[in-house]
Amino acid sequence: MTKRAGDERIADFNEVNEGISEQNAVLEALRCMDCVRPQCTKGCPVNIDISAFIRAIAEEDFKGAAAIIKKDNMLPAICGRVCPQENQCEGLCVLGKKEKPVRIGALERFVADREREAGMTLPEIMSPTGKRVAVVGSGPAGITAAAELARYGHSVTVFESLHEAGGVLTYGIPEFRLPKEIVKAEIEQILDMGVELKLNHIAGRTVSVEELLEFDAVFLGTGAGLPSFMGIEGENLSGVYSANEFLTRVNLMHANAFPEYDTPVMKGSRVAVVGGGNVAMDSARVSRRMGAEVYLIYRRREEDLPAREEEVHNAIEEGVEFICCANPVKILGGPAVTGIECVRMEMCDLDESGRPCPVPMKGDEAVFTLDVDVVIEAIGQSPNPLLVSLIEGLERGRRGNVIVDEHGLTSVDRIYAGGDIATGAATVIEAMGTARKAAVSINEMLMKK
Amino acid sequence: MGYKIEKATEIADNIFEFWINAPHITKNARAGQFVVIRINDSGERIPLTISETDGSLVRIVFMAVGKTTTYLSTLKSGDEIRDIAGPLGHPSEMGNFGNCVVIGGGVGIACLPILARELKAAGNNVTGIIGARNESLLLLKDELATHCDELVVCTDDGSYGFHGFPADILKKKLSDGEKIDCVWIIGPGIMMKITSMATIPYKVKTYVSLNPIMVDGTGMCGSCRVTIGGETKFACVDGPEFDAHLVDWDELMSRQRTYTAQEKESLKLFQDHQCSCGGDHHD
Ligand SMILES: Cc1cc2nc3c(=O)[nH]c(=O)nc-3n(C[C@H](O)[C@H](O)[C@H](O)COP(=O)(O)OP(=O)(O)OC[C@H]3O[C@@H](n4cnc5c(N)ncnc54)[C@H](O)[C@@H]3O)c2cc1C
Ligand SMILES: Cc1cc2nc3c(=O)[nH]c(=O)nc-3n(C[C@H](O)[C@H](O)[C@H](O)COP(=O)(O)OP(=O)(O)OC[C@H]3O[C@@H](n4cnc5c(N)ncnc54)[C@H](O)[C@@H]3O)c2cc1C
Ligand code: SF4
Ligand code: SF4
Ligand code: FES
Ligand SMILES: [Mg+2]
């Protein structure tokens, strides 16, 4: 795949990764050994028939390849871009043992982009069942459940609280990793399948729980949208953002193009991003594109960064300065942010996740201050409580996630859940996988009656 | 594909009343809740209180203060806005409390009709106290009079009614020993801060509706965080009404000023554009 140079990239929000050419796609497809027992498929949470679609590419049947993928995944242009393939399909590819694994994600993206340009074909829809299903949330989980249920012939209504569909795909992941035009096009498919999408509808408020239960079944895909804050002094100064707020202002509201768009954002001249995951990388890289010098503060070592390796590289290429083994203790300023005080961390015994436990170092030398005017906290999100806290009898786990059984069924009859609301913050494809499982169970339940 | 403004009226100086067709909102709307609107595709999301509902129509009342509200004020009956989401936030605490006082300052008066009406229906004795800088800024007083057992109108300059602030009236009632069980105060931050101080010595339950800067209004971004009794809360989902005596007012008001520079720039650009194209602004 071709990638533009870091300093060129930060001049705009265009896609960083330009994809793979037709010629290279075919060559890459020819590397696949068409294994008898393909491991790659086991690594894919929706079990795409990977060797089959790759074979189709090798035969230059791109349309056929798209059809194979879309049997299991309606959002391939998205997944081909944002799946952490190295831990999933590509991580298990046998070729990875000796040389490089087949670039499954790049091939999936190629096929999907091709199909989108040529005109998308919709899956076959079974005859109407007369059953009505409510899907709450239009993130990857909600979209997948809706598509699957529509395919079975059920009448599906999706409720989304924001003015645009897509969940994190729309408000969280930046344009330069996932162009919004692609998100729109892939979501458009479910509308073409007859799914009704109701934007500006907050389940639990606009639509009451009782009204939801008037449907024959309910699928909850409300995601992990609740931002966590560190709880340190100075956190409510002007210029301190959750990553969710910062990214929403830019991705959903286009604050980077203020005043052409009405939503403002503090771009900052020196920005501190706190955290080490994908959300932190996205925040840092968005900040760079708005012209700020960016420090990324992470409490463990560089090798412990939970973000995808590729995104860490991208951030480094784009000039983000990493400050590892450090943790903020105080945000300075008033009323606006002027700095952030941090303490250096020492790595001690392994914790339950098998990683060394960061412990603050003692003494004055361990404390340092960075002059910054914006702080973005990207330290995690938990399940969105707005709706689920209103549903009587709905069991939730310690972290607020909705508890589901192996069929995606919650503790309340006819209410199913999938995606981040059930698993806690995870990945796009895992959200899709759990949503599909729930949709299959919903269908079985509805057809038994 | 938008939501139609059925009726647009300027009801006081620079203060506008819109009735918008939004059946999805009116169905479950209660006192104390708000909507988030977006005028067009390049617009920002702004919160406005639900002032009243009538069938499928929701009423919003707003003052033209910056780009978005000024643009909104140029829209006419029959025009559409792109988005309206809600009802958001917790409804006001409701029940038969006894003697309730609802106080509105400036455009905050707009929030009172639905509240006074619901309190009255719940069996309370309702006193309304409203205040504005001068007579031309007073709104909805006749309507409020129909929901309140008593309505006191104040102006800062004495151009109408009592010459002074609602806080003066409230203080007087309390020191006269009037039995007051519950107070709501809605208005600008500084007005809510000062007025709510009056009830502290009498330990009267006092609610205020906080108006920090919001984006989604659904608890997803944390932009609206406020400190209540030392704890961080998200006003859009935990509020917007809170116990007045626990609010960190200075933090609220300082956070409200986060984007002052950008807001000025945005409004100026809009006004310059309006002048150059001769009034009505349409995308
Ligand atoms: C910045 C960022 C970057 C990420 N990068 C990646 C990546 O590169 N690769 C990857 O695989 N994963 C990534 N993730 C994680 C991934 O995006 C999530 O795991 C995934 O989006 C979860 O999908 P979901 O459908 O469960 O929830 P969401 O995408 O969160 O969607 C939930 C939707 O429900 C709506 N909603 C919530 N409550 C209500 C209600 N009461 N009524 C109506 N609607 C409601 C929300 O508005 C939202 O649209 C990233 C996450 C973030 C935040
Ligand atoms: C829950 C709630 C209910 C409200 N109800 C009403 C109402 O019924 N009538 C009314 O006139 N006003 C109401 N407001 C305030 C209203 O939202 C702001 O006046 C409006 O957003 C200003 O937008 P602007 O672009 O015209 O002005 P700007 O020039 O952009 O801003 C003027 C001031 O308004 C505040 N403001 C700006 N953007 C926002 C935002 N996104 N969210 C909240 N405040 C903001 C800031 O303090 C700012 O300094 C309410 C606010 C909240 C939080
Ligand atoms: S959806 Fe993701 S995990 Fe599955 S094959 Fe595609 S890139 Fe791999
Ligand atoms: S494991 Fe690798 S080589 Fe084998 S079928 Fe899958 S992609 Fe091809
Ligand atoms: S406005 Fe975003 S959390 Fe309240
Ligand atoms: Mg504004």
Backbone angles phi, psi at A243, to 5 degrees: -60, -35
Name the minimum distance, in Å, from the CA of A207 to any CA of chain B.
8
Q: Does any ligand 2 atom lie closer than 6 A to the CB of residue B35?
A: no
Is the same domain home to B85 and B104? Answer: no
Q: What is the structure's pLDDT at B277?
A: 67
> What's the gap between Cα A384 and its chain centre?
15
Contact A377, A272 (CB under 8 A): no
Is the same domain home to B122 and B59? Answer: no
Is the same domain home to B37 and B60? Answer: yes
Provide the ipTM: 0.96
The 10 Å CB-count burial string (b at 16+, else e) for A141-158 is: bbbbbbbbbbbbbbbbbb
Is the same domain home to B15 and B116? Answer: no
Q: What is the mean pLDDT of each run of 10 residues along chain A (449 residues)?
A: 82 90 96 94 95 96 95 95 94 93 96 92 92 98 97 97 97 96 94 96 96 97 95 96 98 96 96 97 97 96 91 95 96 96 90 83 93 97 91 93 96 97 93 96 92
What are the tokens at A246? 């910062």
3-class secondary structure, A349: strand
Scan for tokens 């390796």, then name that residue: A309
CATH fold label, A2-118: Fumarate Reductase Iron-sulfur Protein; Chain B, domain 2 (1.10.1060)
Backbone angles phi, psi at B88, to 5 degrees: -110, 160
Rounded to an integer, the average pLDDT of B18-25 is: 97
Helix/strand/coil percentages in chain A, nearest 5 = 40, 20, 40
Contact A193, A123 (CB under 8 A): yes
Scan for tokens 């067009």, then name that residue: B40
Q: What is the structure's pLDDT at B283?
A: 47
Q: How far apart are CA A387 and CA A203, in angstroms?
A: 6
Backbone angles phi, psi at A142, to 5 degrees: -60, -45
Structural domain for B52, as ranges:
3-89+260-276
Q: What is the structure's pLDDT at B236?
A: 96
Amino acid at A309: E
Could you tell me the CATH number of the domain that includes residue B73? 2.40.30.10
Q: Is B159 part of any domain? A: yes
Q: Is B191 part of any domain? A: yes
The Cβ of residue A179 has, within 10 Å, a number of other Cβ atoms equal to 17
Pick the CATH number of A132-225+383-447 from 3.40.50.2000, 3.30.1460.30, 3.50.50.60, 1.10.645.10: 3.50.50.60
- pTM recorded for the entire structure: 0.96
3-class secondary structure, A242: strand
| Chain B residues closer than 8 Å to A260 by CB | 42
Start-end of CATH 3.50.50.60 domains in chain A: 132-225+383-447, 228-381
Could you tell me the CATH number of the domain that includes residue B198? 3.40.50.80
Scan for tokens 């249920």, then name that residue: A149
Q: Is B201 part of any domain? A: yes
Q: How far apart are CA A325 and CA A298, in angstroms?
A: 6
What are the tokens at B114? 């639905």
Q: How far apart are CA A433 and CA A47, in angstroms?
A: 9
Q: What is the structure's pLDDT at B280?
A: 52
Assess B80–A contact: CB distance below 8 Å, yes or no: no
Strand partners, B103: B129, B185
Assess A162–B contact: CB distance below 8 Å, yes or no: yes
Q: Is B148 part of any domain? A: yes
Start-end of CATH 1.10.1060.10 domains in chain A: 2-118
Contact B109, B132 (CB under 8 A): yes
Assess B246–A contact: CB distance below 8 Å, yes or no: no
Contact A352, A249 (CB under 8 A): no
Q: How far apart are CA B188 and CA B209, in angstroms?
A: 10
Which domain-ending residue is among B171, B186, B209? B209
Which of B216, B281, B283 is best to mutate for the A interface (most A CBs within 10 A)? Answer: B216
Contact A292, A269 (CB under 8 A): yes
Q: Please enumerate in sequence order all residues whose Cβ is within 8 A of that of B22, keeping only pairs 6 or more positions apart, or say none.
A: B3, B35, B56, B57, B58, B84, B86
Q: Which of B36, B211, B223 to mutate to test the pocket of ligand 5 (most atoms within 8 A of CB)?
A: B223
What are the tokens at A348? 């001690």
Angle at Cα A36 formed by Cα A31 and Cα A39, nearest 5°? 75
Domain count, chain B: 2
Is the same domain home to B182 and B200? Answer: yes
CATH fold label, A228-381: FAD/NAD(P)-binding domain (3.50.50)
pLDDT band at residue B278 using 50, 70 and 90 as cut-offs: low
Q: Which residues line ligand 1 (CB under 6 A)?
A: A 82-84, 136-142, 159-162, 167-168, 172-173, 202-204, 221-223, 225, 247, 278-279, 282, 384, 386-387, 419-421, 425-429, 431
Q: What is the length of chain B? A: 283
Is the same domain home to B103 and B75? Answer: no
Q: How far apart are CA A330 and CA A333, in angstroms?
A: 10
Q: Is B238 part of any domain? A: no
What are the tokens at A138? 């239009």
The model's pLDDT over B79-107, given as tens digits with 9 standing for 90+, comes to: 999 999 999 999 999 999 999 999 999 99
Query: How many beta-carbon contacts under 8 Å exist across A and B?
Result: 123
